[in-house]
Structure formats: structure tokens, C-alpha cells
A and B are shown apart, each in its own frame.
Chain A
């Protein structure tokens, strides 16, 4: 049994697409063969051979080609130890600070259960995959090492690695500006960074973060004139001690060496970023977060201006979709039972459409859903919205009517859970879905419009290229593949309330002023 494909992206127009499987990316041509045209694997797995233990040669790959693409100097030296220590310290530490990470837990221990935590030993799975409109570049993010990879695509399925950039925080969603030259990366700390698609060779780090002033300058702490409550005095002493001892440790984390500009930020975990234009071709950035918000900001260079919010979700928002033919409409979904339809520029909710009811037709016991992805699929002047939900083996097809209402048209059942969907820009518009077939190899199914319906036309079976594929228990695999539902707020994370009073018996303050 090999790993399922977890991410899909079309490659420009035509029948080419790419799919991620574990720590690898493969390209396919639906018009030709069901065998991959090309395969790239994260250097971590190439170096350890099989992450599991086997030390074999890379049979499945053309050695020369691999070498050509990845000058050894570029390879990141990752050892298993690095990875583990990363999991053990870095990432967990990070979770504590993550906005939106439920800091439920009273203390330490339970925090290990923090959301979006990946299993140990964490492997650099491809978690995000997208391509430029013209298919000339593929952008991928591997989760464990927070690295953003850019590949050049030769138009025939061959990918050449152009850059790898380790982001400060784990990216959660990617978008590209309309010109395809700038990558927007939204992270779990709530920030959206702009990065040039192709990094300029000699960008000095100083010139990097534009609107952020020399913010990294340390706040040296309270001065002697600072209020001296007991608590503050203690804090002050602590700070002083700490300042001396930690002069080295509390240095601001050094920012990345490549050009990256903070465009905007939420104090909440971001889940989705999307770029779009208004009728006058002005660009906008739409961001969604775990705290039910959808924010509409102006595009660069005015991304500091928030135009409006699309508010109304009662649960996290994870998926946004903006049909090209009716780009004034935004569809959103997440932890609510419905999909929401917006006039996004006006911040106006136009309507909602029930999705849970259709999920229950597939799995009758379903009580809540978590939308994983929404795509618009346009064919013959009709606009369809396709939704997938976590751990539901089906595609839900809706139609966006001329009056902007959304109607359920069809539910296409699958052999396993849908992990990702993408549409192809081919004659009959193909719909791709990555399916996690329990107990079997994962597959990519290609649907075609068939009269008024859709029919599966092609089927690509993942092959078990064992030596480059880590073996994970089903449980560990699930932790990597199914992360959306964990965004739901449990209501169990109080933590801060009814804590001890700040300073017992501090009388000076209890005076009343009347």
C-alpha cells in the first residue's frame, strides 16, 4: 500500500497536472499515460534513502536528472535528529504562541495536543501545491521544514528546482498575484508574506520587510521610572536578570535572508488566502482565519488598507473560492453546516446553502462537517462549485445560478475520502480528485462532464515507490492528512479565567474614588 496523493494542481492549460504524494511531487499528462512523467522527492528522503531504514538507490528516478536538478550544495542537510529535535522543541514552542492555537490546557502537557500538530517523527510532507496560471512554475510547501519550493516547469511535465526558502512560520495557504510574479504565503501566525516568485540573488536582508519598521529592536524592558507595583518590580528584576543572562537568547529570531514583505496580518491562524480583482481590475487579497473572519484587503501596494470584512460564519473558515466568470462573488466554507455566498467587495452575505444535509446522504451519522476545499468549475457558461469535506468520501457539486443563489446539483460518491480537488482547463473541463482509499493505493480520479452530469473517465493509481516513500502507520498518516476538523473550537479552553488574583492583598489599589 502506497501513500495517497494529498495535493493536486493543474499545470497551465491542457491535460498536465501535478500531484503530491507524501514527500514527493509527480507530474502527469492525462492525455497520454497514467504513469508519472516526472517525480521529485524532498532531499531529506533522498539522503536517508528510505526514511524508514532501507538504504537503497533511487531506482525509480533518473539519477542524472536528479543530480542535475539539485546541486549538492543546495541540498539541505537534514538528519533524522534535526527533524526530531524540531518536533520536540521548535515546533511545540511555536504552538504555544500560535494565535488561535487553543491555549486551553492549564499547563504544559496537554499542549502537545495542540492543533495542526503533525506526527513524530515528522516528515517533510508536501502540504501545499500550486502552479502559476500559465503552468510555467510550480510552488510547493513542505510542512515540517516550513520550506517553500519553486520549480520551473518546461511545459512537458519536467520540473526543475529553482529555489527553496525556509519560511519563519509554517505556511497554511498560498496565492499568486495576477501577474504571477509574487507569491503570497499565509501562515499559522496570521501573517501574509509577499515573496518574489523568483528570488533575486543578492537581496540583502536589510531591504526585506518593508512596512515593518526596525521593529526587531529589542524592548529593553521597563526603565527605573516604570510603575513599581509589586508585580512590576518583580518583573523588572526578572527582566534585568534575564536581560543580562539572556542577552544572547532573546535576540530577535533572525529573519529569512530572502526578500519577504509582510503585507497584512490577523491575530489568528490564517487558513486561506486568495487574490482577486474588482470590475476595474484593482487587485484585492482575501484572507480567512480560524476565528470566523474573512477579510478583504486591497492588493499590493496598498495591502494595509482593509476594505471590508465578510462576517457571518459561526465556525472556522477554511475554503474560499471566487469563480472567474462571476468574480464579484465569493463562496466560503469551513466548520459551519453551510456554504456562504458573498458579495465580497461589499462585505455582504447573499445567502447560504446547506452542505451538511448532503454529507449525511453519504454518511448518515455525520453531525458536523469541515470543508477542505472549494473550487469553481466553469463549463459551457455554467458555473459549478465543487466542495470536499474532511473524511467524507464524496464530491459535492453545486451550481451558482444567475441570481447568485447556489443550488445543490449532484453528489458524486467516491471509494475513499477526498483529499484535494482541482480542475483542468481542457476541452470538456476535467475535474480531478485525489482519493484516499482505505487499505489500498491512493488514486487520482478524473471526471468529465457527461451530458448534465459527471462521469469518472480516468484513473491514476499511485505506485508504491517504496524506497522514496516513508512508511507511516495509518494513525500517523491520518494526523498529516486530516487536520481541518481540529480547528474547531471545543469550548474547553478557558485556562485564563478565574486564575489567581494578580497580587493578593495589594491594598493601595482598592481605594474607591468616590
Chain B
């Protein structure tokens, strides 16, 4: 008896088919939508490495897995000491240096991939289905461009960046962090949920190396002021001048290529941009 499928079943079917039929087709977004806001404070079923050394990047960036030898992925047992190097997953030939925090459906990653061909870029997204969409999208793009290295340098994983950035990245590992059209969290009670705050900025400063850049863009003017205020007030950051900002090719890409920015474009909305440089830590 073929009852009409409900939305959930359709979605499951689609994803199963997607798995079985391989990955040459770009995924369809409507099967990956999810409630707009995930609670950034809750535990979820997040998967994250205990330390950056425990992170196995091989499935995200297979083209950067060193050729020689098998990848040893066994995790250290609870009681052993971590200094036996072979207990860690093998390192990639390159490290991730650019992150897109709350990457949504991945438009920025896809556009930055050819612009920063020698850099590994990672999108981090808290919503499971959305992160999965981006993963499928990247897989499909790679299959569609078999002869090139195109899109081998981008990856996406599900993570709550507000809690677990230091689990993924060592101190000073990153050169760029993008925060594009973050959720505004209008109510005061929700301000602690904002992705930019004075206390959280210390964590961005930790993962960024001196000279590294935080890129922000939003269509919510007040949120723009909020981000500027909080990043400027943080002693580890200084605002980048408008001339320098305009000269940065990543700015144009950020302005036009994220899904949100396209939406804003269609609606003829405004876009507020601000860049901040990570300063050296003061003498201690």
C-alpha cells in the first residue's frame, strides 16, 4: 500500500539515493533545510576531536593526504600518554588556514576555492543537514572537475564554533576567519549567543596568527555596529582601513557569493563590511 510519503520520508529517500547513486549530482537544497536556529548552548551530538592533533582531516581533504604509508587513525586509549606520535591520525601535507564560521550552504567556500588555490579552507556549520549539504556539494563539484585540483582545497564539517574552535585548531593556525551574515539574536537575553562578543573574540585571537584577518559582513546595521564595537574594543584586534579592505579580493567574493549575500542582493539590501587584523600579543 503506497501511502503518500511525508516530508521526512521523502528526505530520507532522497538522501539514500544520493548515497547510492554516487556523488556526481549537486545536492538539492530543499532536502537539507533545517530550522534556522540551532541552540548554540546545547550539547547536541557534536563530534569534535579532543585536541587538534586528534583531528583526522583525511576524509575532508583527501588530495592532501601524504602518499607514503597508511593513515593511522587509532585514537590513544584513555590511559596512555599522548606522546607516541603514531597514535594520532596522520597530518595532511597542508593545514587548514581559513575558516568560514557558520558557513551555511557553502557559497563562500565554493567561490574562494579557486581564488585561494593553495590554501585549505574549512566551512563550519552547526546545523547537521546544512553541513551535510555542503559536504555533498563539495563531493559533487570534485567529481564534476575530475582532471583538476579544483575544490580539493575546501571542506565542511558540523561544529559549534562558539565552543569548540580550539579543539580543531592550534594557537595561531589560521590566517583568515570569515563571519558572514551571522544570526543577529536581537533580544538582549540572547546576546551571549552572538558569534561576536568580547569574550569570544579572545578565542578568535587564539586560533588566528598575528596578521591574520577576521572578515565580517551583515545586512543588519545594528549587528554591524555591535561587531565593530566588540572587535575594536578587543586589544588583540584593530580595524583594517577602508582602502585596504577594498583592495582585498576576498571582500568582493564575500560580498557577492554567500547565499545570504545573494539574498540580500535580490532584495536590494545593504551590506555592512568590516575587517580586523589580529595584532601581536603585548609584551608579557
Q: Which A residues form the contact surface with B (CB < 8 A)?
A: 97-104, 189-191, 211-216, 218-223, 225-229, 231, 239, 250-253, 262, 264-268, 282, 291-293, 295, 297-298, 302, 304-306, 308-309, 311-314, 336-338, 349-352, 354, 489, 491, 493-505, 508-510, 512-514
A336–B77 Cα distance when bound, in Å, is: 13
- Given A222-B184, A225-B219, A226-B220, decide whether A304 and B45 contact each other with a Cβ distance below 8 A: no
A251: B residues at CB distance < 8 A: 188
Partner of B269, one of A227, A314, A352: A227
> For residue B282, which residues in chain A have a CB less than 8 angstroms away from its CB?
302, 305
Say whether A496 contacts B35, CB under 8 Å. Answer: yes
Q: With an 8 A cutoff between CB atoms, is B82 at the interface?
A: yes
Per-position binary interface string of chain B over residues 208-226, scored 1 when its CB falls under 8 Å from any chain A CB and 0 otherwise? 0000000000011111001
Chain A nearest CB from B10 CB (Å) reads: 11
Give Cα distance in the complex from A335 to B48, angstroms. 18
Say yes or no: is B39 at the interface (Cβ < 8 Å to chain A): yes
9 smallest CB-CB distances across A and B, nearest first, come from A265-B199, A501-B33, A103-B42, A499-B35, A213-B233, A311-B51, A225-B270, A306-B206, A267-B162
Query: Can you show 22 pairs from A to B with CB atoms below 8 A apart?
Result: A102-B42, A103-B42, A213-B232, A213-B233, A215-B197, A221-B220, A222-B220, A223-B270, A225-B269, A227-B269, A228-B267, A250-B189, A253-B188, A305-B284, A494-B45, A499-B34, A499-B35, A501-B33, A501-B34, A502-B33, A509-B29, A510-B28
Q: Which residues of B lie under 8 Å from residue A250 when comparing CB positions?
A: 187-189
Residues of the B chain whose Cβ atoms lie less than 8 Å from the Cβ of A497: 34, 44-45, 128-129
Residues of A within 8 A of B234 (CB): 211, 304
Binds A, one of B66-74, B117-125, B163-171, B246-254: B163-171
Interface size on B, residues (CB 8 A): 82
B202 within 8 A of partner (CB): yes
Contact B260 A227 (CB under 8 A): yes
Which residue in chain B gives the minimum CB-CB distance to A246? B187
A282 CB contact (under 8 Å) in B26, B79, B284:
B284
Q: Which residue of B lies closest to A293 (CB)?
A: B166
Q: B81 and A351: CB pair below 8 A? A: yes
Check if B107 is an interface residue, CB within 8 A of chain A: yes
Q: Is the CB of B79 within 8 A of A354?
A: yes
Chain A hits for B219, CB < 8 A: 222, 225-227
Minimal Cβ-Cβ distance residue in B for A313: B50
Q: How far is the CA of A99 from the CA of B44 in the complex (A)?
A: 12
Q: Are A305 and B205 in contact (CB under 8 A)?
A: yes
A227: chain B residues within 8 A (beta carbon) = 181, 219, 260, 263-264, 267, 269
Select from chain B the residue with minimum beta-carbon distance to A356: B78
* Contact pick for A215, options B45, B164, B229, CB 8 Å: B229
Give a binary string over B147-162; 1 marks a CB under 8 Å from any A CB, 0 the rest.
0000000000000001
- The residues of B that contact A499 with a CB separation of less than 8 Å are 34-35
Nearest B residue to A268 via CB reads B163
CB–CB B188/A306 < 8 A? no
Contact with A along B127-161 (1 / 0, CB 8 A): 11100000000000100100000000000000000
Q: Check if B45 sits within 8 Å of A231, measured CB to CB.
A: no
Residues of A contacting B243 in the complex (Cβ-Cβ under 8 angstroms): none
- Are A264 and B164 neighbours in the complex by a CB distance under 8 Å? no
Chain A residue at smallest Cβ distance from B188: A252
Please indicate which of the listed interface residues B188, B193, B226 has the most CB atoms of chain A within 10 Å of its own CB: B188
Does B65 belong to the interface (CB within 8 Å)?
no
- Asked if A212 meets B233 with Cβ closer than 8 Å, knowing A226-B269, A338-B78, A497-B128, the reply is yes
B199 contacts A314, CB within 8 Å? no
Q: Which residue, of A100, A253, A267, A510, has the highest number of chain B Cβ atoms within 10 A?
A: A267
Q: How far is the CB of A332 from chain B (nearest CB, A)?
A: 14
B268 / chain A contacts, CB cutoff of 8 Å: 225
A220 adjacent to B222 (CB under 8 Å): yes
In the complex, B192 has a CB within 8 A of chain A: yes
Q: Does B92 have its Cβ within 8 Å of any Cβ on chain A?
A: no
Cβ of A304 and Cβ of B235 under 8 Å apart? yes
Residue of A whose beta carbon sits closest to that of B53: A311
Interchain CB contact under 8 A, B200 and A493:
no
Cβ contacts under 8 Å, A99 to chain B: 40-41, 163, 192
Residue B17 at the A interface, CB < 8 A? Answer: no
Contact B186 A221 (CB under 8 A): yes
Chain A nearest CB from B260 CB (Å) reads 7
B36: CB under 8 A from chain A? yes
A contact residues around B220 at 8 Å (CB): 219, 221-223, 226
Residue of A nearest to B218 (CB): A226
Complexed CA–CA distance, A312 and B36 (Å): 32
- B33, closest chain A residue (CB): A501
Q: Does B38 contact A (CB under 8 A)?
A: yes
Q: Are A215 and B41 in contact (CB-based, < 8 A)? A: no
Chain A residues with Cβ under 8 A from B44's Cβ? 493-497
- Residues of the B chain whose Cβ atoms lie less than 8 Å from the Cβ of A498: 8, 34, 128-129
A512 pairs with B26, CB closer than 8 A:
yes
B251-263 interface bits toward A, Cβ cutoff 8 Å, 1 = contact, 0 = none: 0000000011001
A231 to B129 Cα, complex, angstroms: 19
B202 and A297 form a contact (CB under 8 A)? yes
C-alpha spacing A306/B170, complex, angstroms:
12
Q: Which residue on chain B has the smallest CB distance to residue A102?
A: B43
A215-B230 in contact (CB<8A): yes
Whether A493 touches B43, Cβ cut-off 8 Å, given contacts A189-B192, A211-B198, A219-B226, is yes
Q: Give Cα A221 to B184, complex, Å.
A: 8
- Distance A40 CA – B113 CA, assembled complex (angstroms): 66
Q: Give chain B residues whose Cβ lies under 8 Å from the Cβ of A291.
A: 163-164
Residue in B closest to A337 when the chains form the complex, CB atoms: B78
A213→B229 CA distance, assembly (Å): 7
Measured between beta carbons, the chain B residues less than 8 angstroms from A225 are: 219, 221, 268-270
Interface pair A100/B222, CB less than 8 Å apart: no
CA distance A420 to B279 in the complex (A): 43
Q: Is B94 an interface residue (CB 8 A)?
A: no
In the complex, chain B residues whose CB is within 8 Å of the CB of A304? 198, 201-202, 205, 234-236
Chain A residue, CB-CB nearest to B171: A308
19 other A-B residue contacts (CB within 8 Å) besides A219-B184, A219-B220, A305-B205 = A103-B42, A103-B43, A190-B192, A212-B198, A213-B198, A215-B226, A215-B229, A219-B185, A223-B270, A227-B263, A265-B197, A305-B236, A311-B166, A337-B78, A350-B81, A497-B44, A498-B128, A505-B30, A514-B144
Contacts of B192 in A (CB 8 A): 97, 99, 189-190, 267
Residues of A within 8 A of B189 (CB): 97, 250
Give the Cβ gap from A7 to chain B, nearest Cβ, in Å.
28
